[in-house]
Each structure stands twice: as C-alpha cells, then as structure tokens.
Amino acid sequence: MFHLNYCEFNRTNYDCDRIYRPGGSGDYLFLLLKTPMKIYLKDQLIISRENACMLYTPGFCQHYQAVRKFRNSYMHFSTDLFFENRYHIPANQLLYPDNFQKLDSLMQEIQQEYLSKEPFYEKRLENLTEEIFLQLARSLAKPSYETSPESSTLLETFQHLRLQMLRTCEDEWTIQRLCQESNMAKSQFYHYYKLFFQSTAKAELLQARMEKSRTLLTNEAL
C-alpha cells in the first residue's frame, strides 16, 4: 500500500532555488518539474526541459536547482510495494511522459484530499497515488510510433472503432464495414489493427461474443 507523507501542487520557489538532500529524504519523492532544472545525478549534470518528472528512491541523493524560475508539484510517500518493478518505472532518472497534464491534475486531486481529510481520505489517497503511477507507466510503455501526431490520430480512430465494435458485438461487423468506418483498404486495416492491438478484429469480436454468451447463459430468466 501507499502512504502519503506530504505533497504540494504547483509550488513556486524563489528563482534559482536549490534542493540538496545528500542522503535522500528518507522516503520516495515523485517530482513533476514544470520549469527547466539542473539535475545532479551522481557524476552527471543534466538540464531538464519543462514537463519532466522524476522518481527518487529512499536513500538516493536529491540534488536539483532551477535554471531560473522554480515551479513544480511533488509528493513524498512510503510504500511496502516494489512498485517500480510492478509498473516498470525507471527510478532516479529524468522521464518525459506525454500525459504530463494528466499527472499534474492527479497531483492536484491528491493535495486536495490530503488537506481536506474527508471521510475515507486515506483510501482515496492510496488510490490516487497508485493511479498516478499507473498513468505514468502507461505513458512510458507506449511504442515509439505513438509519439508522432499522425500515429496518435490514427490510433485514436482505431481505439474508437474497436470500442464501438466490442460494445455492440452482437451486431454484424464485417471486414467491409470496418474498412469503411476506418476509410482504409483491407491490407491497411489488418496491418494497423495488428500493430495497435496485437490481435485481429475477427479474433477480438469472437472473444467478445463468447464472453457475452457465457454471461447470458447464467440468466435463468431467459
């Protein structure tokens, strides 16, 4: 489980402010860096771009300084999970997720829960903390082809069509209909569907129909 120790959303320090904890902070630190920073990693000095993030593990030296403006969101937390391995999140190195604003929005929710302490806030904080790392892991796990605007648009088209097909799997979904909906030739459609979903539309449609049939068979009123 996760336990939040402290957090701040959209924190602004004075210009060129420096954070230096040679032995770490005694817990995990997750940073969302909104302005360029000088990051000192062992014998390296790295200048980050804006919208970077970093996960410091307990005991690792935390040393960073604003190039000029200092603005970030962050949270200190403890956990008994080996979540870096669970979600394959590289620790103690700069990361550039493509969903930075989503992560920052979650950080805002975390701070709100932390300060308001409404009923069951501890469970809500635990869920939000796990959600922020799940979203980060999803971003980092995306294949490189998804980073281009053209591929992202095409992926969104296929995701929408796939969800429509699976939600209404009882309808007649022919390859002709799918190609018409996606405005693609058969060979193109097969290629991109396999690329995006590591399966075929036919196989996923069959699986969805089988799962729905099994559920319907449990209803004795039918």
Q: What is the pTM of this model?
A: 0.73
- Predicted local distance difference test score (pLDDT) of residue 1: 82
pLDDT over threshold 70, residue 222: no
CATH 3.40.50.2300 fits domain 2-142: no
pLDDT digits (tens, 9 = 90+) for 125-142: 999 999 999 999 988 887
Alpha carbon distances (Å) from 13 to 1, 96, 156: 31, 22, 38
Q: What band does 155 get if pLDDT is binned at 50, 70 and 90?
A: confident
Whole-number Å distance between alpha carbons of 84 and 91 = 7
pLDDT greater than 90 at residue 202: yes
Torsion-angle region of 94 (φ positive above 0: left; ψ -120 to 50: alpha; else: beta): beta
Q: How confident is the model at residue 168 (pLDDT cuts 50, 70, 90)?
A: very high
CB contact set of 185 (below 8 Å; sequence gap of 6+): 179
pLDDT in tens, 43-82: 899 999 999 999 999 999 999 999 999 999 999 999 887 7
Query: In this predicted structure, what is the pLDDT of residue 144?
Result: 59
Residue with tokens 């088209």: 157
Instruction: Spell out where the chain has E strands.
Output: 2-13, 18-21, 28-33, 37-41, 44-47, 52-56, 62-66, 70-79
Residue 177's pLDDT is what?
Answer: 94
One-letter amino acid at 29 equals: L
pLDDT band at 2 (very low <50, low <70, confident <90, very high): confident
pLDDT value at 148 more than 70: no
| CATH 2.60.120.280 in the chain, residue ranges | 2-142
With bands split at pLDDT 50, 70 and 90, how would you rate the model's confidence at 87?
Answer: confident
Name the DSSP letter for residue 190: H
pLDDT at 110: 97
